[in-house]
Amino acid sequence: MFVTGLILVGVVAAAVYWYQQVVVKGKQCSSGVRLHGKTVIVTGSNTGIGKMTAIDLARRGARVILACRSQQRGEEALQDVKKESGSSQVVFMQLDLGSLKSVRSFAETFLRDEARLDILINNAGVYLQGRTEDGVGMMFGVNHLGHFLLTNLLLERLKECQPSRVVNVSSVGHNFGKIDFDCLTKNKALGLGTSFTQVMQVYSDSKLCNVLFTHHLAKRLQGSQVTCYSLHPGAINSDLARNVSSVLQILLRPVTVFFFKNTVQGSQTTLHCALQEGIEPLSGRYFSNCTVREVFAKAKDDGAAKKLWEISEKMCALA
């Protein structure tokens, strides 16, 4: 009986170790690319996987722009990234993706002050209902529309510095997403509900927008040497859910600690899409665990992607 118990404990321990190392930890970015002379923007890089992404890129020699909403948190992150990376080529620039005016101001300042843009990483995201400064649904506005405008405003600079890349951080949640174009047109939001399931649905919808945006952007970039990729970073133990109730955060804590990636592990697929040599023919595709993945038909629907693009253009006054 004692021996059987020891064997059972050993099997469980082995299973836990395997799960942590293979399933949770996942693959790592294997690229050894150096980035001296290159400039990278990482949105939402004051925390979580964005911050870890910025540290890695700075270590590789890139000039890294930390594009963050909060000046205080951004400046604190600036000191952390400089210290962790050992690089002085890190700059904080304020960017509120929930304000189209702020996005335009950021782009204007960047294009005036910075000569290059080699990699744009649209990492920032929120899980929160409400409205942006422009009256747009918060998750549509921040997770998609702000990045849509930012990318378009910086596209010519990316083309000038080609080969260059755009990386859009999405989520496996896009599989559960849908786009209600009637709701979007009438209410400037993907959904109006406030229950847990309704908010989760809108978040998934916004992540589907990321994948469709990438899909259509790749088509528009054909013939150039600018490529783009969307990705699922994994389930991350970060502060994305900081806006959910404290009770739910406490209940989820044991799950997130054991089953979720830490922020270093969660940054690996972003880094893979930003750096890996030879993936240029996969422009427009979706990645997970540093591997290209197939997506459902709705995530590569040319008609839906084009319609989303046109609506986004109108909302941003680009059309």
**Burial, 86: exposed, middle or buried (Cβ in 10 Å; 0-12, 13-18, 19+)?**
exposed
The pLDDT, as a whole number, for residue 275 is 98
Asked which of 23-32, 166-175, 203-212 is least confident by mean pLDDT, the reply is 23-32
Checking if the pLDDT of 243 tops 60, the result is no
pLDDT recorded at residue 63: 98
Residue 228, pLDDT score = 98
Q: What is the pLDDT of residue 26?
A: 87
Known catalytic membership, residue 203: yes
What is the average pLDDT across 205-210?
Answer: 98
Strand pairing partners for 230? 168, 286
- Verify cis geometry, omega within 30 degrees of 0, for the bond prior to 233: no
Q: State the average pLDDT for the chain.
A: 91
pTM more than 0.85: yes
For the chain, which residues make up each domain, given as ranges?
30-315
pLDDT at 251: 57
240 or 3, higher pLDDT = 3
The pLDDT of residue 169 is above 60? yes
pLDDT above 60 for 252: no
Q: What is the pLDDT of residues 131-140, one digit of tens each?
A: 999 999 999 9
Banded pLDDT at 260 (limits 50, 70, 90): confident
| Cα three-residue angle 117-289-258, rounded to 5 degrees | 120
130 vs 188: CA distance, rounded Å: 11
For the segment 181-207, the average pLDDT, to the nearest whole number, is 97
Which CATH superfamily hosts domain 30-315? NAD(P)-binding Rossmann-like Domain (3.40.50.720)
Question: What is the C-alpha to C-alpha distance for residues 319 and 316, in angstroms, rounded to an integer?
Answer: 8
From 17, 127, 203, 286, the catalytic residue = 203
| Those residues with Cβ within 8 angstroms of residue 182's Cβ, 6 or more apart along the chain or in another chain | none
Asked if 220 and 169 count as a contact pair (C-beta separation under 8 A), the reply is no
Of 185, 194, 238, 218, which Cα lies nearest the Cα of 286? 218
| pLDDT at site 261 | 87
- Write down the pLDDT at residue 11: 55
Q: What percent of the chain has pLDDT over 70?
A: 85
